[in-house]
Amino acid sequence: MREGIAGNLIAPNVEAIKVVKTIPAVRILPVTGQPGVYTFDFGQNLTGWGRLTVSGPAGSTANMIFGEKTNVDGSVNQGNINVYVNSQRSYFQKDSYILKGAGVESWEPRFTYHGFQYAQVSGLPAAPTTNTLVARVVNTAF
């Protein structure tokens, strides 16, 4: 059995981050050879996360992979950031949301942020629009 990290948990002495802007994708591209997989291009490199707005059957899972580059097929390339994950099937900046199935649902993470320009999304119940995923840009509240 592995031991956990020891010590006291201490809050950092820095200003909190806050959402300063919400931006829609400037374009949405289907990923070549992967039906139902789309890449959202937000037109700029940013720090933040995505806010997903979707409706669909309960139990459907939407997966979002974030990165600063794309591959030739339009998928997100995490080669410059995915250096700490051992498996090719895992991603460094990935969020997943399991739908409740209760009409239109909006979700955004609460305890993480990413550096990205592109977000690859799979598992959507319908083709996306610019309202499906928007970027929530954050910086410190300084």
% of the chain with per-residue pLDDT over 70: 92
Does 123 score more than 80 pLDDT? yes
| Domain encompassing residue 47 | 17-140
Would residue 77 count as lying in a domain? Answer: yes
Q: What is the pLDDT of residues 44-61, one digit of tens each?
A: 999 999 999 999 999 999
User: DSSP characters for the chain?
Assistant: ------S-----SSPPEEEEEEEE-SEEEEPTT-TT-EEEEEEEEEEEEEEEEE---TT-EEEEEEESEE-TTS-EE-TTTGGG--STT--SSEEEEE---SSSEEE--SS--EEEEEEEEE--SS---TTTEEEEEEEE--
Q: What is the pLDDT of residues 78-90, one digit of tens each?
A: 877 776 665 555 6
Would residue 111 count as lying in a domain? Answer: yes
Would residue 128 count as lying in a domain? Answer: yes
Would residue 11 count as lying in a domain? Answer: no
Number of domains in the chain: 1
Does 6 score more than 60 pLDDT? yes
Contact partners, residue 94, CB within 8 Å, separation at least 6: 63, 64, 65, 66
Would residue 5 count as lying in a domain? Answer: no
User: DSSP characters for 69-85?
Assistant: EE-TTS-EE-TTTGGG-
Would residue 60 count as lying in a domain? Answer: yes
Side chain identity at residue 107, one-letter code: W
For residue 127, give the CATH number of its domain.
2.60.120.260
